Structure 1
Amino acid sequence: MNAPHDTKSRPGAFRLYGPQFQTSPAELYRQMRAQYGPVAPVLLEGDVPAWLVIGYRELHHVLSHPEVFARSSRRWNAWDLIPENWPLRPMVMRTPTVLFAEGEEHRRRAGAISDALAGADQHEVRQYATQAADRLIDGFCTASKADLRASYAARLPAVVLGRLYGLDQERADVLAEAMTTMVDGGPDAVRAQQFLLKTMGELVAARRRRPGNDVVSRMINHPAALRDEELIPDLVVVLGGGHQPTTEWLGNTLRLMLTDDRFAASLTGARRSVREALTEVLWEDTPTQNYLGRYAARDVELGGQLIRTGDLLLLGLAGANSDPRINSGPDAQGWGNQAYLSFSHGEHRCPYPAQELAEIIVTAGVEVLLDRLPDVELAVGADELRWRPSPWMRGLVALPVVFTPVPPLGGQ
């Protein structure tokens, strides 16, 4: 029998990197289904083997049974293949974060995060998100063009999350840039992670000396009594989990509204269409398309494949959302349906308060932009837009637009 991580035993495995995956992952998911069904063998950067779960029911099953599909990467059977400088190492390395915790430890730490986020006043967050959106638009509205990815979609979540952490806009921007570098999995990913941990450690020390009304202080003072070695990495997790998907949710929604005639009415201020666009993006172009991961606690059959103890399973959120058994496409889907797996499922899913805060930020970002720049349109053809080189996040490299210049509001 071949070893679990013998790449020769998977000659038809799909590579989750390279131009085809970046440009048309939906086509790759269709090919995977045709060849393997709902669970497909894949290769990560460096031809590291894994399984990608793209069936909706199969992924729901994985996420519902942590006793079989466990979270801790200490179970992985392929660590001997992983060099110290592997670009995806920050996504799997055995750090003491809530992401890799299991059982009671996970419930304790996840509870502290959820409570700290729930402590934010949603009315104040909505008001601040609107003001922050206006300030960012003021920075480019007197020109006739802008890159909405760099100048707006990537910055608005960072500014609002920075406020929730008690940071000023400049420091929030720096942390957001480091988080993007880490998640993209390039040569500087490990260094970016180290910078984030160092910076968050300094922030925790400052809040211990002088607490405030912010997420960091609430986590420090939570009854869970988190130690610094738990607090610091968990705060990096919360920041990344908040910034990256929210940025791409906002950018992908703007892209949809600027390229799809069904949403043209939104450009004249139809609020219902904005909400429908947010939901459609989660089904059809979900920001977190794949996620690392789960590790088989024992040999198990899943979707017609034999998964060996210690095998890595990737959560194919985008693939599962597009599973033709439950989603027949935009024209047939009811966009009030929120059964998407974009926020995962089960005990490790994105906390409900985080989902609510992300929706507040994205809704404000879309509505304020369309109010301020009602004739905004793409500066290039839709087919000229390029996607980020990340197997995990689905988002644009740039979103260039043109519009009629308007005066800044100021005074916000």
Structure 2
Amino acid sequence: MTAPTTPVPLGGPRFQTDPAQLYREMRREHGAVTPVVLDGDVPAWLVLGYRELHQVTGDPALFSRDSGLWNQWDRIPDDWPLLPMIGRKQPSILYTVGERHRERAAMISDALEAADPFELRADAEKFADELIDAFGSRGEADVVSDYAMLLPVRVLARLYGFTDEQGPGLVTALNDMIDGRERAIAGQTHLATSMAQLLADRRAEPADDVVSRMLADRGGFSDEEIAQDLMVMMAAGHQPTADWIGNSLRLMLTDDRFAASLFGGRSSVADAMNEVLWEDTPTQNVAGRWAARDTRLGGRRIRAGDLLLLGLQGANSDPQVRTDGSLTGGNSAHFSFGHGEHRCPFPAQEIAEVIARTGIEVVLDRLPDIDLAVPAESLTRRPSPWLRGLTELPARFTPVPAL
């Protein structure tokens, strides 16, 4: 018996309200590789199986990152809403393949790895305290908009080499780009202009920062390539880390297992963060890979040029590898950071974890009696099949003075 082939629309309210059940239904009705349609009825495959996703991400020759292979380009209009995510000629590392990709990834990893972890945590604490100082006296706040969505980019901007005065403008630009509305173009322009100016400044006067280290790399990368990679890194580091903070705090505020952490303890923070990466990962689905030739995957016939979407959350919850639920806890074999040579660089993962954990711990230290200001069931997520995060997290607490 073959699985049904009627494709599933990759969109709609269920990705907001109950994606876990939706992934279970997809797997039950279609198998580990599910046919889906994107905006404009564009076909693709969503890889939900843990083993299948491991195969796709571990074989870059067969499942390429080269979007030029796509067999649907003749159907894609110039105003297709997913073009920023799936572009034909993307100059960033996301779509570089082969040896050049490995050289580019090494440049980025080396530049990030050289960051001092103690300075990174100190910066994260500094900006976290400043954000709490801004609302602490009110005794209430939206932890998403007042805190989580403001913290990661401030830390990353300092890491890059931007001045603290430039940080708020970069926060606004990144969040405008994420909103995707009329301010998105202005946000993208501000980010690109700021990055180009920073590169010019660091070429003239190098410093101990990520941008200077990338410019000093001997791989022969152009300023445009470096600027593109820096913008990709900032965008990819900001929103998922903000959602990691928000999703983890939601779990800690609504699940009795983590209640002890809200009274001065920190032992459960890491457990909550890891559980989120397994059960409620900020990056749900990723585009993508393209089949370099005809092949078979999960019982499906994949044509050359077919687009495969990486179902990270679906794979994390695959019952074939979660038979007893033991893969959570301290296990980090989830797909939340990807897999293979195109995965999130290890130093970037470590930086995101430091920012997120520090952000959560500062909240618990400064606001020890923090609690939800609304019923847990009323909390809503953004309606996106790609990134999963809260639209708001209203909280109340005993007012605290600024430091």
Task: Verify: 1:341 aligned to 2:341, yes or no.
Answer: no
The partner residue of 2:120 within 95, 119, 125 is 125
Task: Verify: 1:391 aligned to 2:385, yes or no.
Answer: yes
Shift of 1:277: 0.4
Asked if the contact 1:55/1:323 (under 8 Å) is kept, the reply is yes
The partner residue of 1:16 within 10, 28, 40 is 10
Q: Hey, what does 1:272 align to over in structure 2?
A: 267
Aligned residues: 399
Q: Deviations over 1:142-198 (max 9, x none)?
A: 001101101111111111101001223453343344434445655765665455334
Instruction: Spell out structure 1 runs of 4+ moving beyond 6 A.
Output: none
The one-letter code sitting in structure 2 at the alignment partner of 1:335 is G
Q: Hey, what does 1:320 align to over in structure 2?
A: 315
Asked if the contact 2:123/2:155 (under 8 Å) is kept, the reply is yes
Q: Hey, what does 2:197 align to over in structure 1?
A: 202
Gap change, CA 1:339 and 1:68, over 3 Å in 2: same
Asked if the contact 2:274/2:328 (under 8 Å) is kept, the reply is no
Gap change, CA 1:70 and 1:192, over 3 Å in 2: farther
Give the Cα–Cα distance (whole angstroms) in 1 for the partners of residues 162 and 324 of structure 2: 41
Give the Cα–Cα distance (whole angstroms) in 2 for the partners of residues 111 and 21 of structure 1: 35
Task: Verify: 1:256 aligned to 2:234, yes or no.
Answer: no
Q: TM-score, normalised by structure 1?
A: 0.92
Give the Cα–Cα distance (whole angstroms) in 2 for the partners of residues 305 and 259 of structure 1: 40
Shift of 1:81: 1.7
Shift of 1:28: 1.2
Give the Cα–Cα distance (whole angstroms) in 2 for the partners of residues 243 and 363 of structure 1: 14
Q: Hey, what does 1:241 align to over in structure 2?
A: 236
Q: Hey, what does 1:401 align to over in structure 2?
A: 395
Q: Deviations over 1:324-361 (max 9, x none)?
A: 1112576x544111101111011011111111111111
Shift of 1:406: 1.1
Q: TM-score, normalised by structure 2?
A: 0.94
Q: Hey, what does 1:356 align to over in structure 2?
A: 350
Gap change, CA 1:173 and 1:77, over 3 Å in 2: farther
The partner residue of 1:107 within 94, 102, 105 is 102
Give the secondary structure class of the aligned counterpart of 1:347: coil
The partner residue of 1:226 within 199, 221, 224 is 221
Give the secondary structure class of the aligned counterpart of 1:254: helix
Q: Hey, what does 2:140 align to over in structure 1?
A: 145
Task: Verify: 1:68 aligned to 2:62, yes or no.
Answer: yes
Task: Verify: 1:285 aligned to 2:280, yes or no.
Answer: yes
Q: Deviations over 1:288-320 (max 9, x none)?
A: 111110000001100111111101111111111
Give the secondary structure class of the aligned counterpart of 1:99: helix
Gap change, CA 1:11 and 1:183, over 3 Å in 2: farther
Give the Cα–Cα distance (whole angstroms) in 1 for the partners of residues 31 and 182 of structure 2: 33
The one-letter code sitting in structure 2 at the alignment partner of 1:368 is V
Asked if the contact 2:154/2:171 (under 8 Å) is kept, the reply is no
Give the secondary structure class of the aligned counterpart of 2:380: coil
Asked if the contact 2:58/2:340 (under 8 Å) is kept, the reply is yes
Gap change, CA 1:273 and 1:33, over 3 Å in 2: same
Q: Hey, what does 2:367 align to over in structure 1?
A: 373
